Structure 1
Amino acid sequence: MLRPLGVDVELVDLETDDPRSLGGFDADIVMVYPGDPERPDFKDVLSLVDHHALLGRAVLVNLSLNGRATRKQYICEQMAIWRALYGKRVGLMVFGDRVEDDPALAPIADTIVAIPKTLQYDEVAALSFAEREGIFLGDYGKLCDETLLAWPVDEAIEALKQAVPDAHLFCVEQYRPKRKRDLGIEVLPFLESEYSRVLSRSRLMVSLVKYATFEMVPMEVAAMGVPVLHPKMDNSLSDYLGLGAVEIASVEHLGRCARALYADPVVWKGISESGRLVARGLAWENMAAQMYLRLLNFRKSALS
């Protein structure tokens, strides 16, 4: 994204390379994209940020904002520490502009830098309403972990069965769950090369995940022309898909919208086409200039 715009970029792996020396690369900005802060090795990330900030570099770090109050509190505390030590040199990497309006993050709002998520889509055949069937509910492993979900999975699935009794409900086992559950829907194995072909034939996707940093699969499915229903996710789907999807407020709301979209080709086409255009417009090749400008502004603010 950045090299065609004249930016020198060096990719350094946090585990297999030396993220402190950067292989001798003289960076103005260091973007640190680690795993979750709850992982045991995350403490090394904190010292890595300190290392580069002390060298006078602008450091942008992803602390995995996931919608949880506990994570927001941790982020506020850690960013306040860095701000006291380094001023504006350390910024919080997020993916959605709506994050800046979150009251829980107000104390550190001046550290937030929204960077476009790198989205890449497969080319798939354009299918009509009549050529599609079934409701895709995402990853089986995530559906088995209710700590990630907006509503209890059994309640959501029952609402869909009541609202759209003729719809085939299915999910895909992309990740193995810690504890398997019988959800009463079809569980497809990992699709590999069949991924895009199978999912593009869905008539609707319902994403129940709320407490995650970013949900990629709904973006990929929306780009295929599949309407997406999802809970509020300011750092992800709400900001990215906007009116190209349907933000769901409750299980009852889910049932009503699913019924209308699944049964009415006119309603379906409106969300299908708007979602496809929005998602395709956010592909990485279209977001290079946005990435460049936001990093340029962060560098100016951090190093001034």
Structure 2
Amino acid sequence: MQSQNNHPPAQPGTQAQVRHAYALFKQGRYPEAMEAYERILASHPEMERRLRVNIHIAKKRIQNGIRTRQTLARDDKELSNAVFVGMAAIPDRVAALEASICSLLPQAERIGVYLNGWEQIPSFLQHEKIIVAGMGEPDIGDVGKFHWVDDHDGYYFTCDDDLIYPPDYIARTLAKLRHYHGNAAVGWHGSVLMEPFARYYDTNSRKVFLFGSHRPHDTAVHILGTGCCAFHTQVMQVRKADFTAPNMADIFFALNGQKQKIPFYVIEHEKGAIREAPGTKESSIYADSHQNKSTRKNTHELQNQLVRSNAPWLLHEFQPLSILIIGRFNSFQKGGIYKSCHLIQEHLSNLGHHVSVLDTQHALVLPESAHFDLCWIYPGDPERPDFATVVEKIRSLQKRGIPVLVNLSYLYQEKRTTWIRDRILECNAGQSTPVLCAVFTESAAHDPLLADVRDYVCVVPKTIEPPACTKVRGFGEREGVCLGDATKLSNPKIIGGPVHAWIDAIFRKMPYVNLYAFKQYQGDNPHSRVQYVPHMKEEFGDWLGQRRLFLCLNIHTTFEMVSCEAQYCGTPVLYRHMPHSLSEYISTTGMAVRNPEEMAEMVTWLYNDPAAWERCSRSSLRNAESKHVDVLDASLEGYLRLAVQRARRLTKPATSTSDQRC
């Protein structure tokens, strides 16, 4: 029978080139792999469809820098607690300056005052806590607030000479910085730039959150008012030389934050907590710029230019996550969990997240300063040896206040689902730090048996990186039907009963077809009609790509990875309803059947109808490409952010019943 494949078959020499390119790809030599793929496409552009996923991955990993990650040194170091306040002052505000200094002096360690255009130092600045600069120097305007920043190691506050601060201003602002683990700049006044942006002082271009108005919650902003803000010099690198023009420190400080991807927050505060000194409004930079006066303080047009030329402006509220993964990193290397744990680590790290890993077999020992947004525990089935210490590790993490997301191997089986529900209830009873349960689909998350713990159930996408398939073969180049793993076929708990009825039904309809199963583990051969082959490590993808159909008879497993891998090879898949796995990941790009007779009927049809087979093969390929971990890693990040958000929402005040067992 003639192949109905839309792509002409590649020549043997081209296949050798593809194998060579893929070998480079698997070795992580992505620039070389890209060159090899480009050479292939130059002479065989028809192969673009076949190679595009690997080309996409190679480009992405070259861009990101494979096995590198954004270094989050600020998460790993002990931050200095030294506090310094920088302020710039003009002579017209001597009374306001005195009131401002008086409000800050009892709560500040050191205050630096840069005097712009003063002829003498006021007597109230002659204090052991106060450093004075600027006398006899050029007037540098509000840049004077940052005169000492190059030499300070610690928390740096910038204040204005026309503001009177509440008695707990520094303590409250420091508390917010520490709430964000130092990874932010915070203030009491700021703004968000609106789109489309026209002019900086146009109310349609900028939403301003005033220091004098009530702010009920922390609000992410693009720009902080440097008259009442603070940051840590080990987190945000700021130099006096960054401020290349006077009287627009807010913009230069914001540009610095944008470049370094530092989140800016206007923190929650009450109305009138910071007060403006009487009689100072008319001498402000805002007044001259807003009214477009012809003065040195009017920097309106330059601010407009800088805002426009540095678009787009982003809110960096969502910082890289700090994740601890406890899984199969050294032990139990044979199987999907080991591969998934390494893929999760690799992709989260490449996305810039701070990832620490621990093998399930190793003791949990964390330094006292360790901070994690979440610990993801990914062991084997609860009946497997590496699950033995999971409960102990969960209790230890809860004591440290670290939320836990744990895979409990949901199987679409009532006994296991009830066990999962009971474990989650017990783990969270009387505990302030939540334990969440991970599943792979929303259908599983909405199992009625999990209704009592619905808020604690989180979806995380399965990490799928298929085996090598150097050639997507057409209908006429394939034969036989693959039934998956022989060990699973022989397990009635996985099949939901004996497998014989399914195999016999297929054989009755198609006694001429070869039925295959691969043997990844030792065990009995479940049916005499099946041919058993060893599970090939390197050639497995090409072997799958030579089979005409893939059948999944399993229903009570946590995930059926090989079915998804078969689609990647262009092999159509028939499966049984698996709401926790294939019903969402394959869905209608394959076909779900309900009994042996339906399976036999669909196998017979697809196996003998090349036109229908070709269409199913195409949809299988496109679906598989969309499920590749390199395509879905942003979804992986998104679902982990959801888990972190849910954990924060579910965190409760500490209770005295901390000895509850889970």
TM-score (norm 1): 0.93
Distance 2:349 2:538 in 1: 30
Whether 2:483 is the aligned partner of 1:163: answer no
- Match 1:303 to one of 616, 626, 648: 648
Q: Decide whether aligned partners of structure 1 residues 185 and 123 sit closer, same or farther in structure 2, where only a CA change above 3 A counts.
A: closer
Shift of 1:54: 2.2
Q: Decide whether aligned partners of structure 1 residues 129 and 262 sit closer, same or farther in structure 2, where only a CA change above 3 A counts.
A: same
Letter in 1 for 2:441: G
Structure with a larger share of its residues in helix: 1
Letter in 2 for 1:111: Y
Letter in 1 for 2:481: I
* Aligned partners of 2:500 and 2:527 also within 8 Å: no
| 2:465 aligned partner | 120
* Aligned partners of 1:151 and 1:208 also within 8 Å: no
Which secondary structure state, in structure 2, belongs to the residue aligned with residue 192 of structure 1? coil
Deviates more, 1:95-104 or 1:78-87: 78-87
Letter in 2 for 1:146: P
Q: Decide whether aligned partners of structure 1 residues 202 and 80 sit closer, same or farther in structure 2, where only a CA change above 3 A counts.
A: same
Deviation by residue 1:23-69 (Cα, 9 ceiling, x = unmatched): 97432210001121123563421121121122111210000111211
Distance 1:199 1:35 in 2: 26
| 1:191 aligned partner | 536
- Match 2:593 to one of 217, 242, 248: 248
Whether 2:422 is the aligned partner of 1:77: answer yes
Instruction: Using CA pairs under 8 Å that are at least 6 residues apart, name the structure with larger relative contact order, 1 or 2.
Output: 1
| 2:351 aligned partner | 5
* Aligned partners of 2:398 and 2:433 also within 8 Å: no
Which secondary structure state, in structure 2, belongs to the residue aligned with residue 116 of structure 1? coil
- Match 1:146 to one of 463, 476, 492: 492
Shift of 1:83: 2.8
| 2:624 aligned partner | 279
Distance 1:156 1:23 in 2: 56
**Structure 2: gaps of 5 or more residues:** 1-346, 650-662
Runs of at least 4 residues of structure 1 off by over 6 A?
none
Deviates more, 1:54-63 or 1:266-275: 266-275
| 1:28 aligned partner | 373
Q: Decide whether aligned partners of structure 1 residues 133 and 40 sit closer, same or farther in structure 2, where only a CA change above 3 A counts.
A: closer
Larger Rg: 2
| 2:330 aligned partner | none
Deviates more, 1:101-110 or 1:63-72: 101-110
**Pairwise CA RMSD of aligned residues?**
1.9
Letter in 2 for 1:109: R
TM-score (norm 2): 0.44
Deviates more, 1:160-169 or 1:282-291: 160-169
Q: Decide whether aligned partners of structure 1 residues 284 and 3 sit closer, same or farther in structure 2, where only a CA change above 3 A counts.
A: same
Distance 1:217 1:274 in 2: 17
| 1:294 aligned partner | 639
| 1:109 aligned partner | 454
Distance 2:575 2:380 in 1: 24
Q: Decide whether aligned partners of structure 1 residues 43 and 141 sit closer, same or farther in structure 2, where only a CA change above 3 A counts.
A: closer
Shift of 1:181: 3.7
Shift of 1:20: 4.1
Letter in 2 for 1:141: T
Distance 2:472 2:526 in 1: 34
Q: Aligned residues: percent identity?
A: 29
| 2:190 aligned partner | none
| 1:176 aligned partner | 522
* Aligned partners of 1:244 and 1:276 also within 8 Å: no
Q: Name the count of aligned residue pairs.
A: 302
Whether 2:612 is the aligned partner of 1:267: answer yes
